[in-house]
Structure 1
Amino acid sequence: MINGTVKNFDPIKGYGFILPSDGSLAVFFHSETADKAGIAGLTAGQRLKFSFEFDIQGRRSVASLELV
């Protein structure tokens, strides 16, 4: 898993982005991914670990996450 920090999360739109600690580009995540991990109320600056996968268009998307 990769260490990262929540860049932003919009609970109304149901998605946000995580900044990997290695300095690579932000990775998209959907609120369903956080829900599956039992995480509610993500806010900017929270540290976590995550894994990602590539969507059908080749973009990175968080597959799983956990709070650090």
Structure 2
Amino acid sequence: MRSFFEGIADLFVNHLFWPLDQLRHMHSWWGANFLNWIFAAIGFVAFIYWMLQLKQYSDNDEEDKSVSSHSYL
């Protein structure tokens, strides 16, 4: 059983994380953080898209009145 877990550790450490190790040992800060900049850009674009969708929803005066936890008597 021990060799099974050592095999999993070897797979991740020596094979799957190899590209990230190469980024870590770069001498350029911009090059090492290129992947982080891509993720930040994707998140920023998704945030802008979501805000535009919420604005469109708000501008159409749409409101989900079918879901209510109070009777509002």
Q: TM-score range by the shorter chain?
A: under 0.3
- Structure 2 length-normalised TM: 0.17
Looking at CA atoms only, which structure, 1 or 2, has the larger radius of gyration?
A: 2
Judging by fraction of residues, say which structure has more helix.
Answer: 2
Task: Report which structure shows greater RCO (CA 8 Å, sep ≥6).
Answer: 1
Higher strand proportion: 1
